[in-house]
Chains A and B, each alone.
Chain A
Amino acid sequence: GAVVSQHPSWVICKSGTSVKIECRSLDFQATTMFWYRQFPKQSLMLMATSNEGSKATYEQGVEKDKFLINHASLTLSTLTVTSAHPEDSSFYICSARYGRGTGELFFGEGSRLTVL
Protein backbone atom coordinates (compact mmCIF):
# COMPACT_ATOMS: atom_id res chain seq x y z
CA GLY A 1 0.00 0.00 0.00
CA ALA A 2 0.91 3.65 -0.18
CA VAL A 3 3.15 5.13 2.49
CA VAL A 4 2.41 8.08 4.70
CA SER A 5 5.17 9.31 6.96
CA GLN A 6 4.51 11.33 10.09
CA HIS A 7 7.16 13.13 12.08
CA PRO A 8 7.99 13.37 14.91
CA SER A 9 6.67 10.13 16.33
CA TRP A 10 6.81 11.57 19.81
CA VAL A 11 7.50 14.96 21.28
CA ILE A 12 7.64 16.43 24.77
CA CYS A 13 7.34 20.16 25.19
CA LYS A 14 6.83 22.75 27.87
CA SER A 15 3.48 24.41 28.37
CA GLY A 16 3.13 27.53 26.24
CA THR A 17 5.36 26.40 23.41
CA SER A 18 4.28 25.47 19.90
CA VAL A 19 4.81 22.10 18.26
CA LYS A 20 4.72 21.26 14.57
CA ILE A 21 3.87 17.80 13.25
CA GLU A 22 4.51 16.89 9.62
CA CYS A 23 2.58 14.44 7.47
CA ARG A 24 4.04 13.39 4.13
CA SER A 25 2.71 11.10 1.43
CA LEU A 26 5.87 9.43 0.18
CA ASP A 27 4.83 7.72 -3.02
CA PHE A 28 1.65 9.46 -4.11
CA GLN A 29 0.13 12.88 -4.32
CA ALA A 30 -2.58 13.59 -1.80
CA THR A 31 -4.93 16.45 -2.55
CA THR A 32 -6.70 15.77 0.73
CA MET A 33 -5.24 14.95 4.10
CA PHE A 34 -6.99 14.51 7.42
CA TRP A 35 -5.88 15.13 10.99
CA TYR A 36 -7.19 13.11 13.91
CA ARG A 37 -6.80 13.03 17.63
CA GLN A 38 -7.03 9.79 19.54
CA PHE A 39 -7.31 9.28 23.28
CA PRO A 40 -6.33 5.97 24.88
CA LYS A 41 -8.65 3.13 23.97
CA GLN A 42 -10.88 5.44 21.99
CA SER A 43 -11.54 5.78 18.31
CA LEU A 44 -10.26 8.40 15.93
CA MET A 45 -11.65 11.88 16.34
CA LEU A 46 -11.50 13.89 13.14
CA MET A 47 -10.10 17.35 13.78
CA ALA A 48 -9.86 18.84 10.33
CA THR A 49 -9.74 18.18 6.61
CA SER A 50 -6.82 19.69 4.76
CA ASN A 51 -6.98 20.36 1.03
CA GLU A 52 -3.88 21.35 -0.88
CA GLY A 53 -3.75 25.05 -1.57
CA SER A 54 -6.80 26.00 0.46
CA LYS A 55 -7.81 26.59 4.05
CA ALA A 56 -8.46 23.60 6.23
CA THR A 57 -12.00 22.70 7.23
CA TYR A 58 -12.25 22.19 10.98
CA GLU A 59 -14.73 19.98 12.79
CA GLN A 60 -17.08 21.51 15.28
CA GLY A 61 -15.41 22.21 18.59
CA VAL A 62 -11.85 22.23 17.22
CA GLU A 63 -10.12 25.57 17.73
CA LYS A 64 -8.60 26.63 14.43
CA ASP A 65 -6.32 29.14 16.15
CA LYS A 66 -5.01 26.45 18.46
CA PHE A 67 -4.49 23.81 15.77
CA LEU A 68 -3.02 25.43 12.68
CA ILE A 69 -3.06 23.29 9.57
CA ASN A 70 -1.12 24.00 6.41
CA HIS A 71 -1.23 21.92 3.24
CA ALA A 72 1.24 23.73 1.03
CA SER A 73 2.01 20.91 -1.39
CA LEU A 74 0.48 17.69 -2.66
CA THR A 75 2.72 15.63 -0.43
CA LEU A 76 2.95 17.62 2.80
CA SER A 77 0.52 18.80 5.44
CA THR A 78 1.51 20.20 8.81
CA LEU A 79 -0.32 20.53 12.11
CA THR A 80 0.96 23.13 14.54
CA VAL A 81 -0.31 23.02 18.10
CA THR A 82 0.11 26.58 19.28
CA SER A 83 0.68 27.56 22.89
CA ALA A 84 0.32 23.95 23.93
CA HIS A 85 -1.09 23.05 27.33
CA PRO A 86 -1.21 19.74 29.18
CA GLU A 87 -4.76 19.11 28.00
CA ASP A 88 -3.43 19.09 24.42
CA SER A 89 -1.39 15.98 25.24
CA SER A 90 -2.68 13.26 22.96
CA PHE A 91 -1.94 10.97 20.03
CA TYR A 92 -2.26 12.86 16.75
CA ILE A 93 -2.61 10.93 13.50
CA CYS A 94 -2.79 12.08 9.90
CA SER A 95 -4.18 10.30 6.88
CA ALA A 96 -3.90 10.96 3.18
CA ARG A 97 -6.46 10.12 0.56
CA TYR A 98 -5.13 8.10 -2.36
CA GLY A 99 -6.62 10.09 -5.15
CA ARG A 100 -6.77 7.81 -8.18
CA GLY A 101 -10.49 7.19 -7.89
CA THR A 102 -10.42 4.54 -5.22
CA GLY A 103 -10.12 6.94 -2.33
CA GLU A 104 -8.43 4.66 0.16
CA LEU A 105 -7.09 6.40 3.22
CA PHE A 106 -3.54 5.69 4.31
CA PHE A 107 -2.44 6.68 7.78
CA GLY A 108 0.76 7.98 9.26
CA GLU A 109 2.37 6.30 12.22
CA GLY A 110 1.02 8.87 14.64
CA SER A 111 2.67 11.46 16.87
CA ARG A 112 2.45 11.32 20.62
CA LEU A 113 2.50 14.78 22.16
CA THR A 114 3.16 15.27 25.85
CA VAL A 115 2.91 18.79 27.21
CA LEU A 116 4.49 19.31 30.60
Chain B
Amino acid sequence: QKEVEQDPGPLSVPEGAIVSLNCTYSNSAFQYFMWYRQYSRKGPELLMYTYSSGNKEDGRFTAQVDKSSKYISLFIRDSQPSDSATYLCALRSGTYKYIFGTGTRLKVLA
Protein backbone atom coordinates (compact mmCIF):
# COMPACT_ATOMS: atom_id res chain seq x y z
CA GLN B 1 0.00 0.00 0.00
CA LYS B 2 1.32 3.42 -0.95
CA GLU B 3 1.76 5.89 1.89
CA VAL B 4 -0.37 8.44 0.04
CA GLU B 5 -2.91 7.88 -2.70
CA GLN B 6 -4.03 10.56 -5.12
CA ASP B 7 -6.13 10.12 -8.24
CA PRO B 8 -4.00 11.25 -11.22
CA GLY B 9 -7.00 12.42 -13.23
CA PRO B 10 -7.27 14.19 -15.56
CA LEU B 11 -10.23 15.96 -14.02
CA SER B 12 -12.12 18.23 -16.41
CA VAL B 13 -14.63 20.75 -15.13
CA PRO B 14 -16.44 23.74 -16.62
CA GLU B 15 -15.41 27.24 -15.62
CA GLY B 16 -17.09 28.31 -12.41
CA ALA B 17 -17.43 24.81 -11.00
CA ILE B 18 -16.37 23.77 -7.52
CA VAL B 19 -13.42 21.42 -7.72
CA SER B 20 -12.68 18.78 -5.11
CA LEU B 21 -9.23 17.22 -4.99
CA ASN B 22 -8.40 14.49 -2.50
CA CYS B 23 -5.65 12.41 -0.99
CA THR B 24 -5.74 9.52 1.43
CA TYR B 25 -2.84 8.38 3.52
CA SER B 26 -2.12 5.40 5.68
CA ASN B 27 0.38 6.51 8.32
CA SER B 28 -0.84 8.55 11.27
CA ALA B 29 2.71 9.84 11.76
CA PHE B 30 1.96 12.47 9.13
CA GLN B 31 0.73 15.51 10.99
CA TYR B 32 1.22 18.38 8.57
CA PHE B 33 -0.41 18.72 5.20
CA MET B 34 0.32 20.84 2.15
CA TRP B 35 -1.21 21.40 -1.24
CA TYR B 36 0.86 22.53 -4.19
CA ARG B 37 -0.08 23.70 -7.66
CA GLN B 38 2.31 22.91 -10.49
CA TYR B 39 2.04 24.38 -13.94
CA SER B 40 3.69 22.56 -16.79
CA ARG B 41 7.47 22.91 -16.74
CA LYS B 42 7.44 24.91 -13.52
CA GLY B 43 8.25 24.15 -9.91
CA PRO B 44 5.37 23.45 -7.50
CA GLU B 45 3.85 26.46 -5.75
CA LEU B 46 2.65 26.14 -2.16
CA LEU B 47 -1.08 26.87 -1.90
CA MET B 48 -2.10 25.70 1.54
CA TYR B 49 -0.44 24.43 4.70
CA THR B 50 -2.48 22.90 7.48
CA TYR B 51 -1.93 21.05 10.69
CA SER B 52 -5.19 20.58 12.51
CA SER B 53 -8.21 18.62 11.46
CA GLY B 54 -10.82 20.96 10.06
CA ASN B 55 -10.96 23.58 7.37
CA LYS B 56 -8.60 26.34 6.35
CA GLU B 57 -9.68 28.90 3.80
CA ASP B 58 -7.63 31.22 1.61
CA GLY B 59 -9.50 33.06 -1.07
CA ARG B 60 -11.08 30.55 -3.43
CA PHE B 61 -9.18 27.67 -1.86
CA THR B 62 -10.24 25.60 1.15
CA ALA B 63 -8.10 22.85 2.61
CA GLN B 64 -9.83 20.22 4.68
CA VAL B 65 -8.16 17.67 6.92
CA ASP B 66 -9.75 14.67 8.59
CA LYS B 67 -7.03 12.98 10.58
CA SER B 68 -9.35 10.30 11.93
CA SER B 69 -10.09 9.15 8.38
CA LYS B 70 -6.62 10.01 7.08
CA TYR B 71 -8.22 12.02 4.31
CA ILE B 72 -7.35 15.48 3.04
CA SER B 73 -9.07 17.62 0.46
CA LEU B 74 -8.57 20.82 -1.47
CA PHE B 75 -11.63 22.67 -2.73
CA ILE B 76 -11.44 25.33 -5.41
CA ARG B 77 -14.47 27.59 -5.74
CA ASP B 78 -15.39 29.45 -8.91
CA SER B 79 -12.72 27.59 -10.85
CA GLN B 80 -10.99 29.46 -13.65
CA PRO B 81 -9.10 28.26 -16.74
CA SER B 82 -5.96 29.62 -15.06
CA ASP B 83 -6.46 26.99 -12.34
CA SER B 84 -5.65 24.30 -14.90
CA ALA B 85 -2.57 22.64 -13.50
CA THR B 86 -1.44 19.60 -11.56
CA TYR B 87 -2.25 19.67 -7.86
CA LEU B 88 0.00 17.75 -5.49
CA CYS B 89 -0.77 16.89 -1.91
CA ALA B 90 2.17 16.61 0.45
CA LEU B 91 2.41 15.21 3.95
CA ARG B 92 5.03 15.86 6.57
CA SER B 93 5.81 13.84 9.64
CA GLY B 94 7.08 15.21 12.93
CA THR B 95 10.55 14.09 11.92
CA TYR B 96 10.43 16.11 8.70
CA LYS B 97 9.82 13.22 6.37
CA TYR B 98 7.88 14.47 3.34
CA ILE B 99 5.70 12.36 1.07
CA PHE B 100 4.09 13.62 -2.12
CA GLY B 101 1.03 12.38 -3.93
CA THR B 102 1.32 11.61 -7.61
CA GLY B 103 -0.66 14.75 -8.45
CA THR B 104 -4.08 15.29 -10.02
CA ARG B 105 -4.21 17.00 -13.40
CA LEU B 106 -7.03 19.53 -13.49
CA LYS B 107 -8.47 21.10 -16.62
CA VAL B 108 -10.91 23.95 -16.27
CA LEU B 109 -12.75 24.48 -19.53
CA ALA B 110 -13.74 27.98 -20.59
Chains A and B bind each other: yes
Within 8 A of A (CB), among B65-107: 88, 90, 92, 96, 98, 100-103, 105
Per DSSP, chain B at the interface is strand
Name which residue of chain A comes closest to B43, CB basis.
Answer: A107
Q: Could you say which of A12-20, A71-79, A80-88, A108-116 contacts chain B?
A: A108-116
Indicate whether A25 reaches chain B with its CB closer than 8 angstroms. no
In contact, A110 and B43 (Cβ under 8 angstroms): yes
- Residues of chain B with a CB closer than 8 A to A34's CB: 98
Determine whether the beta carbon of B34 is less than 8 Å from that of A105. Answer: yes
Q: How far is the CA of A108 from the CA of B36 in the complex (A)?
A: 13
Tally chain B residues at the interface, Cβ within 8 Å.
Answer: 20
Take A105-B90, A110-B41 as given contacts and tell me if A43 and B102 are in contact as well, using a CB distance cutoff of 8 Å: yes
B42-80 interface bits toward A, Cβ cutoff 8 Å, 1 = contact, 0 = none: 111110010000000000000000000000000000000
Task: Please report the number of residue pairs spanning A and B whose Cβ atoms sit closer than 8 angstroms.
Answer: 49
Q: How far is the CA of A110 from the CA of B96 in the complex (A)?
A: 22
Pair B96/A109 contact, Cβ less than 8 Å: no
Chain B residue at minimal CB-CB distance from A41: B105
Asked if B96 and A103 sit within 8 Å, CB to CB, the answer is yes
Residues A104 and B49 in contact, CB atoms below 8 Å apart: yes
List 11 other contacts, CB 8 Å, given A43-B102, A46-B98, A105-B90. A4-B43, A6-B43, A41-B105, A44-B88, A93-B43, A97-B96, A104-B34, A104-B49, A105-B92, A105-B98, A107-B45
Interface residues of A (CB under 8 A from B): 1, 4, 6, 32, 34, 41-44, 46, 91, 93, 95, 97, 102-110, 112
